[in-house]
Amino acid sequence: MKTITTLICLSSLILVSILSSCKDEHEPNYEYFLIEVDSIQTPANFSINEPFDIVFYGTIGTNGCHQFSKFETVQQGNNIIIKAWGKFDKNSNLCPQVMVYLDNEKLNYQIKEKGTYTIKIFQ
């Protein structure tokens, strides 16, 4: 009986160690980059303190390992400065051969004071 209990315990420990050592073979390792924005679209009219969408167009990358990451915004006076960030999976060996576009990616923004504003996009 003691031998069976010892064998079960030993087998359980081996099984747990094997299962815990298994990892996903592909853990993403991203490289971040600024996306080149071709154009944007804003509403003709919007109200102060009411959010509106700025729609972006451009090419993110030349294969499926590229993707949109985030928008980064800073307002300096009446200048709205926007960076569109993409990311590239450096660990992926299989990248679908497809163009990845920024088409229709939206940034929801809100103006808090009346005035004339300029949108500047880092390239």
pLDDT digits (tens, 9 = 90+) for 55-101: 999 999 999 999 999 999 999 999 999 999 999 999 988 999 999 99
Would the pTM of this model clear 0.85, i.e. be above it? no
Query: Which of the four pLDDT bands, split at 50, 70 and 90, describes residue 103?
Result: confident
Confidence band of 48 (pLDDT split at 50, 70, 90): very high
Phi/psi for 5 (5° steps) reads: -65, -45
1 vs 85 pLDDT, higher one: 85
Q: What is the pLDDT of residue 84?
A: 98
Number of H helices, E strands in the chain: 1, 8
pLDDT band for position 21 (cuts 50, 70, 90): very low
The pLDDT value given to residue 3 = 54
104 sits in the region (left: phi over 0; alpha: psi -120 to 50; else beta) called left
Q: Is the pLDDT of residue 47 over 70?
A: yes
Beta strands 100-101 and 36-41 are: unpaired
Residue 64: per-residue pLDDT: 95
